[in-house]
Amino acid sequence: MEILKEEKADPGNKSAPTPRILVAEDNMVNQKLITLLFQKLNLKVEIVSNGLEAVEAILDNHYDLILMDIQMPEMDGIEATGIIKEKLGDKCPTVVALTANAMNGDRERFLDAGMDHYLSKPIDIRDLKRVVEEYTFYDPC
């Protein structure tokens, strides 16, 4: 099956739908860095700056993946995740926590809040790529 082979070798796997991604992060420098990292994977992201805006955006739109900073003003990432998990249940998109300094026990705290995974800041592009591969149908080249 030559055609299948070619399709697999196609960078970016154009047959797969491009995932819609939301990043909730209050720090402007981090917002820019994360946007650049996703650009390297040929992906665009939408950005909000606190948990309240994140909840609003997620309840109003369909996203395939959420990157959620833990420490944010107005509402933190843990509370925001709890709300969307409760409201959306099984339809809630994958939530990946962003954390500056993961301590012992943080992993459990994030998982208890309903988060599916976490990434430590500064984010390594290889970790980000792995998250996209694991939680979306998109194949970053």
For 42, the 3-state DSSP assignment is coil
- Interaction residues for Mn ion, span 40-79 (CB under 5 A): 69, 71-72
Among 19, 23, 26, 43, binds Mn ion (CB under 5 A): 26
Residues with Cβ within 8 Å of 20's Cβ and at least 6 positions away in sequence, in order, are 46, 61, 62, 63, 64, 65
Residues with Cβ within 8 Å of 64's Cβ and at least 6 positions away in sequence, in order, are 19, 20, 21, 93, 94, 135, 136
Nearer of residues 70 and 138 to Mn ion, judged by Cβ: 70
Q: Shortest approach of Mn ion to residue 98 CB, angstroms? A: 8
* Residue 120 near Mn ion by CB under 5 A: no
Q: Shortest approach of Mn ion to residue 27 CB, angstroms? A: 5
Q: Which residues bind Mn ion (CB under 5 A)?
A: 26, 69, 71-72
